[in-house]
Structure 1
Amino acid sequence: METLTTKQKIFNFPVTKIILALLTFMAFVVIGQQIAVKLLALTPLEKEYRNLLKGVFVSALAITSYILFFKNYEKRAVTEFAVKGLSGNLIAGTIIGFVLQSLTILVMYLNGNYSIVAVNPVSFILIPLAVAFTIAIIEEILVRGIVFRIIEEKLGTYISLCVSAIIFGALHLSNPNSNLFSGLCVTIAGFLLGAAFVYSRNLWLPIALHFAWNFTQSGIYGAITSGNEKTGSLIVSKIQGATLITGGAFGPEGSIQATLFCLIATIILLALSHKENKIIKPYWKK
Structure 2
Amino acid sequence: MKKLLITIGKALGFFILWAILASMDFLYEPQFIYGNPAVTRLWWELVPLIVTIIVTLIFEKGIEKGRVHIQLIGQPFRDFILGILLGAIWLGITIFILRYLGVIQFDSKNVVNYMWVWLIAAFINVVMQEYLIRGYIFQIFKSNYNSIVATIVSTLIFTALHGGAFEVGIVAVLNVLTMSIFVSLLLIYTKTLIAPIIVHFIWNAVGCLYLGGVSLADDYPNLWNCTFTGSKLLTGGIAKIEGSVIVSAMNIIMIIIVGVMISRGQSSNQRKGVF
- Distance apart, 1:217 and its partner CA: 1.6
2:249 — aligned with what?
Answer: 260
Listed as ranges, the gaps of 5+ residues in structure 1 are 1-8, 279-286
Letter in 2 for 1:276: G
Q: Any idea what the Cα deviations from partners look like across 1:48-94, whole Å, max 9, x if unmatched?
A: 12322443454244234323431222111775244443465345324
Cα distance change, pair 91–12 in 1 and its aligned pair in 2 (3 A)? farther
Is the CA contact 2:119–2:205 (under 8 Å) kept in the aligned structure 1? yes
1:251 — aligned with what?
Answer: 240
Cα distance change, pair 117–177 in 1 and its aligned pair in 2 (3 A)? farther
Letter in 2 for 1:105: I
Letter in 2 for 1:29: A
Q: Following the alignment from structure 1 to structure 2, what is the Cα–Cα distance between the partners of residues 194 and 102? A: 20
- Distance apart, 1:221 and its partner CA: 0.7
2:113 — aligned with what?
Answer: 123
Is the CA contact 1:29–1:58 (under 8 Å) kept in the aligned structure 2? yes
Q: 1:52 aligns with which of 38, 42, 56?
A: 42
- Within a 5 Å distance, the mapping from 1:1-286 to structure 2 comes to 13-31=6-24, 34-35=26-27, 37-39=28-30, 41-42=31-32, 45-76=35-66, 79-86=69-76, 88-123=78-113, 125=115, 129=119, 132-175=122-165, 177-225=167-215, 229=218, 231-277=220-266
Q: Following the alignment from structure 2 to structure 1, what is the Cα–Cα distance between the partners of residues 93 and 172? A: 18
Cα distance change, pair 176–185 in 1 and its aligned pair in 2 (3 A)? closer
- In the alignment of these two chains, the number of paired residues is 266
- Distance apart, 1:16 and its partner CA: 1.5
Is the CA contact 1:128–1:233 (under 8 Å) kept in the aligned structure 2? no
- Distance apart, 1:271 and its partner CA: 2.5
More off after superposition, 175-184 vs 212-221:
175-184
Q: Following the alignment from structure 2 to structure 1, what is the Cα–Cα distance between the partners of residues 41 and 125? A: 13
Q: Percent identity?
A: 21
2:270 — aligned with what?
Answer: none
TM-score (norm 1): 0.78
TM-score (norm 2): 0.81
Is the CA contact 1:194–1:206 (under 8 Å) kept in the aligned structure 2? yes
Letter in 1 for 2:154: S
Letter in 2 for 1:89: D
Q: Any idea what the Cα deviations from partners look like across 1:151-183, whole Å, max 9, x if unmatched?
A: 223332223323432333343344474212211
2:271 — aligned with what?
Answer: none
Letter in 2 for 1:253: E
- Distance apart, 1:193 and its partner CA: 1.3
Cα distance change, pair 234–267 in 1 and its aligned pair in 2 (3 A)? same
C-alpha RMSD of matched pairs (Å): 3.1
